[in-house]
Amino acid sequence: MATAVVATSYGGPEVLSLIDVEVPDPGPGEVTIAVRAAGVNPFDYKLYSGAFGTDPGKLPLRLGLEVAGVVTAVGPDATGPAGPIAIGDEVLAQVTGGYTSAITVPATVVVPKPADVDWKQAAGVQSVGGTAVHMLAATRVGPGDTVLVHGAAGSVGALAAQLAVARGARVIGTASPSRHERLRAYGVEPVAYGPGLADRVKALAPNGIDAALDTVGTDEAVDVSLELVPDRARFASIVAFGRAAADGFQVLGNGPGADPGTEIRGNAWRELLPLLAAGKLDLAIAKTFPLAEAAAAHEFVKDGHAGGKVILLP
């Protein structure tokens, strides 16, 4: 048996409960993981908020997209993207129902955790990191580019900005002034959002902006990007779905008309984990909560200003 968080109805965080669940033995090509940490994502909250519908047939709804832990059982032919998986391996995985103390999953979603990456980082990097890698790939960011990142201090934005710097780009990032020192430490040139943003960016980059990455979805972020980026194929948003069709820029992820980037995101660990292990990528952990306090964790993240990744600890 394991404990798991479920939404018993649709609504706010108050609908979350901790229950006992059976953990099936792994079958062919499967492994069981004792979860040491589980990442919290805004998508988790949207699942039971009613944003994607309120089908009662899906209740109780298991939550959680990413975990890190230790393999406790393996089925026949349990081989992951990095090779065969054995009992005792420290791993991370993208899953369905990761808010739990143990879970059985296909070996194809399980990858090895480097020894120098802690449990919280391992559990928190896959979703936001995969999104960041996808944004850079979609906008073809490379050496010599000048890139504008909207929301550069957020979980996705901070990783996208750091990865762009690592690829040899110059990065200008929007954030509140209280986050500017953190961005400078990443090699990012910070700029405050708000009225006059386009002029402030132009002053920093008089020769222009090659690509823009939007993680906030405000009209300001979209309007400034459209004004400053000549090639709309090099402007991508993960939130501004409503404006993308009319204004001709890319949207990425699970929204209407978006490119899901499944293969890119699924392989992002190959770039992310070595950088994390080498200390060349900072994944800010805003706060941890016990698994039983998942509702409090969702209250903390749902306004979008957590200031880093939130992690549940079984």
Domain boundaries, the chain: 2-116+283-313, 127-262
Quick one: which of 142, 90, 174, 136 has its CA closest to 250?
136
Query: Which pairs count as long-range contacts for 180-186, CB under 8 Å and 24+ apart, including other chains?
Result: 182/153, 182/158, 182/284, 183/152, 183/153, 183/158, 185/282, 186/158, 186/161, 186/162, 186/282
Do residues 129 and 272 touch, judged by C-beta distance below 8 A?
yes
Average pLDDT over residues 219-239: 97
| Strand-pair partners of 112 | 91
Question: Does the predicted TM-score (pTM) go above 0.85?
Answer: yes
Taken in order 257, 261, 262, 268, is the CA torsion positive or negative? negative
SS3 category, 245: helix
Find the angle CA(139)-CA(144)-CA(149) to the nearest 5 degrees.
Answer: 45
How many CB atoms sit inside 10 A of residue 230's CB? 9
Q: What's the pLDDT score for residue 51? A: 85
Quick one: which of 120, 98, 62, 45 has its CA closest to 299?
45
Length of the chain in residues, anyone? 314
Indicate the pLDDT class of residue 211, thresholds 50, 70 and 90.
very high
Superfamily of domain 127-262 in CATH is Medium-chain alcohol dehydrogenases, catalytic domain (3.90.180.10)
- Concatenate the DSSP letters of all residues of 137-194 into one string: HHTT--TT-EEEEETTTSHHHHHHHHHHHHTT-EEEEE--GGGHHHHHHTT-EEE--S
Q: What's the pLDDT score for residue 305? A: 66
Do residues 101 and 296 touch, judged by C-beta distance below 8 A?
no
Give the C-alpha distances (Å, rounded to integers) separating 271 from 69, 106, 110, 265.
20, 22, 16, 11
Please give the Cα distance from 109 to 100 (Å, whole number). Answer: 17
Tens of pLDDT, residue by residue over 6-33, are 999 999 999 999 999 999 999 999 999 9
**256's tokens:** 């209407």
H helix runs in 205-307, sequence order: 219-228, 241-247, 262-266, 269-277, 294-301
Say if residue 71's pLDDT is above 80: yes
User: Could you tell me whether strands 309-313 and 30-40 are parallel, antiparallel, or unpaired per DSSP bridges?
Assistant: antiparallel
Residue 30 parent element (H or E)? strand 30-40
Question: For residue 195, what are the contacts with CB-CB under 8 A and spacing of at least 6?
Answer: none
Please give the Cα distance from 177 to 154 (Å, whole number). Answer: 13
Say if residue 133's pLDDT is above 70: yes
Indicate the pLDDT class of residue 256, thresholds 50, 70 and 90.
confident
- Concatenate the DSSP letters of all residues of 59-75 into one string: PSEE--SEEEEEEEEE-
Average pLDDT over residues 177-182: 95
Indicate the pLDDT class of residue 52, thresholds 50, 70 and 90.
confident
Q: What's the pLDDT score for residue 53? A: 87
Indicate the pLDDT class of residue 302, thresholds 50, 70 and 90.
confident
CATH pick for 2-116+283-313 out of 3.40.50.300, 3.30.160.20, 3.90.180.10, 3.40.605.10: 3.90.180.10
Do residues 273 and 114 touch, judged by C-beta distance below 8 A?
yes
Taken in order 72, 74, 78, 83, is the CA torsion positive or negative? positive
**127-262 and 2-116+283-313 share a CATH fold:** yes
113-137 per-residue burial string, b: 16 or more CB within 10 A, e: under 16: bbeebbbbbbbbbbbbbbbbbbbbe
**267's tokens:** 């392989």
